[in-house]
Amino acid sequence: MGQATYKDAGVDLEVYQESMKRLPRLMHRTFSPRVMKLDGGFAGLCQLDFSSELFKRNYAEPVLVTCTDGVGTKLRVAKLNAIHNTVGIDLVAMCVNDAICCGAEPLVFNDYVAMSHDDPALLEQIVQGISDGCVDADCALNAGETAIMPDLYGHGDYDLAGFCVGVVEKKELIDGSKIAPGDVAIGIASTGLHSNGFSLVRRVVFDMEGLGVDDYVEDIDATVGQALLTPTQIYARPVRKILTKYRGQHVVRGISHITGGGLRENLGRILPANVRVEIQRNSWEVPSVFGWLQRLGNIADDEMERVFNMGVGLVLLVSAGEADSIQQILTDSGLESWRIGQALEGERTVDWAS
């Protein structure tokens, strides 16, 4: 009987070590002075506060905010395109955009990459995107895990999970409880589909219509692959600018990340019991990718609005008197925004204005 080896079972430790050698440079470029380097250690270290003019916060009651998420079946589209760096940006965005809904400053990000087999070049592409996303979010990629599982994944398949830790001063925590009638709902533009609804997208585009990722679509002035792999917008930096300007004033009453469930479900999650929100249809520009998908699959309006963000990736509920100033900050940050609705007295609901 021959000797069994890990390599024969599908895991080549020498190739794995090559993969690991490629990652430190992608991590180090995301580090702030808060990160305590521990290359080769078993965990990532981050100082919550220290004496530095740029990074000291002098927290009185710091609250840690934790989030985790994945990218879903958008990964199948990445594989079809053989483009794997953009889904790393998506991974960071899906976690960080949740964390900022509490007013948190993202501190550190950890990734989990599960692969069918050792592939240093593929892993490097994925982590390059994660690193890019962390730079955009001012969040340090200071730890992670790569798991090789040939019996659980088909050859070339992989899955991603992300974990974000942020911090917010307790008195600055945003939980929606201060939302009041008269507040304005500001919708901030998405970059398209972001990372939700891709099981429906793939069914319509690839199964029902038989399109390929390289097919050019005149309606969206892009190939299928370009439209579907556009990375999720990361909102951390502009939101932090807004919160810094209004620190201590509670001008931003609520923040909602518009993911699966659409505007109504996600905005409804943050409303207090005595407040309803009316959303004005046609108050923002819906990207062409949504109309194209709807026509392609003959998808009902309510299904589109329940599954997709429809062009609004984040909603801020803010004091009406500061809405213009907040929108100017967003414009200066390169983001389009619109007044899409208002908070009114009534039972907690989110409805379309009549």
Could you tell me what percent of the chain has a pLDDT over 90?
A: 86
Q: Residue 31 to residues 24, 90, 138: CA-CA distances in angstroms?
A: 11, 19, 9
Once rounded to an integer, what is the mean pLDDT over residues 137-166? 95
What's the mean pLDDT in 209-218? 96
Instruction: Convert the pLDDT of each residue in 307-335 to its tens digit.
Output: 999 999 999 999 999 999 999 999 999 99
Overall average pLDDT of the 7-19 stretch: 87
Residue 55, pLDDT score: 74
DSSP state of 208: I
* Mean residue pLDDT across the chain: 95
CB atoms within 10 A of CB 321: 10
Please report which confidence band the pLDDT of residue 292 belongs to, taking 50, 70 and 90 as the band edges: very high
- Phi–psi pair at 294, nearest 5 degrees: -65, -45
* pLDDT, greater one: 17 or 109: 109
Residue 299 clears pLDDT 70, i.e. is over it: yes
Query: For 79-91, what is the mean pLDDT?
Result: 97
The mean pLDDT value for 78-93 works out to: 97
| Whether pLDDT at 306 is above 90 | yes
The predicted structure's pLDDT at residue 289: 97
**Domains, the chain:** 13-172 (3.30.1330.10), 184-352 (3.90.650.10)
Question: DSSP assignment, residue 103?
Answer: T
**pLDDT tens digit sequence for 229-246:** 999 999 999 999 999 999
Question: What pTM was estimated for this model as a whole?
Answer: 0.95
Is the pLDDT assigned to residue 338 strictly greater than 90? yes
Say yes or no to pLDDT of 1 above 70: no
* pLDDT band at residue 200 under the 50/70/90 scheme: very high
Instruction: For residue 165, list its beta bridge partners.
Output: 66, 108
As a whole number, mean pLDDT of residues 33-57 equals: 83
The yes-or-no verdict on residue 43 having pLDDT over 80 is yes
For range 172-191, the mean pLDDT: 97
Is 9 or 258 the better-scoring residue by pLDDT?
A: 258
Cβ-contact 148, 118 below 8 angstroms: yes
* Terminal Cα distance for the chain, rounded: 77
pLDDT score recorded for residue 12: 87
Q: Are 132 and 165 spatial neighbours (Cβ–Cβ below 8 Å)? A: no
Taking residues 73-92, report their average pLDDT: 97
The confidence score (pLDDT) of residue 119 equals: 94
224-255 core/surface letters (b: 16 or more CB in 10 A; e: else): bbbbbbbbbbbbbbbbbebbeebeeeebbbbb
